[in-house]
Amino acid sequence: MFAIIQTGGKQYNVTENDILKVEKLDGVVGDKIKLEVLLVSDGAKTVAGTPVVKNAEVVAEILAHGKGDKIVVYKYKPKKNERKKQGHRQPWTEIKIVSIKM
């Protein structure tokens, strides 16, 4: 059984026991959260939502929070003495898919 979920403006194809990093979610490590289900399939039957599937449920457990690698943004305009250097680290949440129900 697999499902396509949506979180953080992105879509992920998941099965049970998958571990993935997604955009930062609210919650503490160990919390269980429910995610939006766009499509769910058990092999024989596939149900697509408009936009989400009613009565379908994907439960995930939060494993960790963190920040990604630093990205340096450098803006420069020649002959104008304009320089701007910024750094950015994108926050993420690691989740484990506990169950998929149709």
Q: State the distance between the two ends of the chain, measured CA to CA, in whole angstroms.
A: 9
Could you tell me if 24 and 65 are in contact, meaning their C-beta atoms sit under 8 angstroms apart? yes
pLDDT number for residue 27: 95
Q: Tell me the average pLDDT across 68-78.
A: 97
Could you tell me if 72 and 34 are in contact, meaning their C-beta atoms sit under 8 angstroms apart? no
pLDDT by residue (tens digit) across 14-52?
Answer: 999 999 999 999 999 999 999 999 999 998 999 999 999
pTM attached to this predicted model: 0.85
pLDDT number for residue 34: 95
How far is residue 32 from each of residues 17, 28, 55, 63, 72, measured CA to CA in Å? 14, 9, 18, 10, 34
Average pLDDT of every residue of the chain:
96
pLDDT number for residue 83: 97
